[in-house]
Amino acid sequence: MNKSKSFAAMVGIALLIAIGAIAGGGANASGPSAINLRTAANFSVLAGSAVTNTGPTTTDRDVGVWRGTSISGFTGAPSGTAGGSGVHAGDPVAQQAQSDLTSAYLAAAGLPVTASHTTLGGLNLVGGVYDSGGAVLDITGTLTLDGQFDPSSVWVFKASSDLVTASSSKVVFVNGASPCNVFWQVTRTAILGSGSTFGGTIMALTSVTSAGGSTIYGRALARNAEVTLINDRFLTLACNISTVSTPTLPPCAWMANIPNAPCAGTRLTAATPVSATATPSTPSATPTVASVASATPTAAPRAPTVAPGAVGPPAANVAGTQSLPSTSTNDPSGLLATLGVALAGFGILLLARPIRHL
């Protein structure tokens, strides 16, 4: 009887270990809940006092200002072009968006901090709440945001002073991370260096200034002062599956480690033959949104590397008119780990039984 009870107890322990491994393998989500922007989400650019643009800046959502009424440089090509429902200069739509922006800003400011980083360049961060420790928040080089194969992961960055990005700096998204789930709460001014590739929603208390030629997968929202732009490109809809179009997808070079990730540009598959004498074919279709497509960078073709958890056939060798990746959380490594733990538990049982008979 005692041997039977001991055996049953050991079986129970092995099952508990296996169940714990399964539960742990599925808990990939990290970070806080996404910040609710409400009607402010309808804007690519929103300012408190004025919006000033120079050159052919394009947005795929609204441009607005309130309490101020000045929006300059958005009169259509060859000047700036506003998408969505156009411009809102001091009207009730912009007023409500500013009210919602204030609520979102305060919600982000009140979140408990996961860790502090003054310099973000070169870091690889999972979802969480990060502040600058009382200093300027700086991005030089590349900041990588890792979704850990969970597209619901959220990042909130809290700049105690300014947010400054260096020229040609990048925010890169891997393993299911999305710019829709990145929020930058800036106590003073956000300054984007020339040629920056930026991701997420900037919520600045004072102002947002671009040095020119930046690509923003998100929004530039300022509560009290001005938003200043120079020949920039806003792809706010980059994560909206229902409305995304080819020019709003991220470059293929960003998504090389996710084989099924839709992206802008051309990506080769492993089975695609390359001939030294082949003449490149002419694309059969051109994006119809001329103001955005003309500024779309060409990503160098790359052969995808099969990542764990990838589902479906390899991505086609075409410039896809698709949405941002919906990454699977069914990582086979987690299942293998669970099976290994379970087998180890039962192995212990088999070894334990004869020992008890000695």
253, 265 Cβ separation under 8 angstroms: yes
228, 55 Cβ separation under 8 angstroms: no
Percentage with pLDDT > 90 across the chain: 58
Placement of tokens 């212990």 in the chain: 348
Q: Highest mean pLDDT: which of 83-92, 260-269, 284-293?
A: 83-92
- Residue boundaries of the structural domains of the chain: 2-29+340-357, 38-239
Task: At 36, list the tokens.
Answer: 């609710």
Residues in the chain: 358
- pLDDT tens readout for residues 88-106: 999 999 999 999 999 999 9
250, 217 Cβ separation under 8 angstroms: yes
147, 324 Cβ separation under 8 angstroms: no
Asked whether the predicted pLDDT for residue 319 surpasses 70, the reply is no
User: How far is 75 from 77, CA to CA, in rounded Å?
Assistant: 7
Q: Residue 54 in 3-state DSSP? A: strand
What is the DSSP pairing of strand 155-159 with strand 182-186?
parallel
Of the candidate ranges 140-144, 228-232, 312-316, 345-349, the one whose mean pLDDT is the lowest: 312-316
Average pLDDT over residues 40-65: 98
Asked whether the predicted pLDDT for residue 177 surpasses 80, the reply is yes
Asked whether the predicted pLDDT for residue 343 surpasses 60, the reply is no
Q: Say how far residue 197 (Cα) sits from the centre of its chain.
A: 12
Helix or strand holding residue 288 (H, E): none
pTM score, whole prediction:
0.64
User: How far is 201 from 185, CA to CA, in rounded Å?
Assistant: 9
Asked whether the predicted pLDDT for residue 262 surpasses 70, the reply is no
CA atoms within 13 A on the CB side of 73: 18
The residue among 189, 217, 193, 214 whose CA lies nearest residue 203 is: 189
Task: At 187, list the tokens.
Answer: 């106590």
Average pLDDT over residues 76-85: 96
45, 51 Cβ separation under 8 angstroms: yes
What's the pLDDT score for residue 213? 98
Asked whether the predicted pLDDT for residue 282 surpasses 60, the reply is no
What's the pLDDT score for residue 11? 42
The residue among 328, 320, 218, 321 whose CA lies nearest residue 266 is: 320
User: How far is 225 from 216, CA to CA, in rounded Å?
Assistant: 20
What's the pLDDT score for residue 250? 60
Placement of tokens 């925010």 in the chain: 171
Q: Kindly report the average pLDDT of the chain as a whole number.
A: 75
Q: 137-151 b/e with 16+ CB inside 10 Å = b?
A: bbbbebbbbbbbbbb
Helix or strand holding residue 105 (H, E): helix 92-109
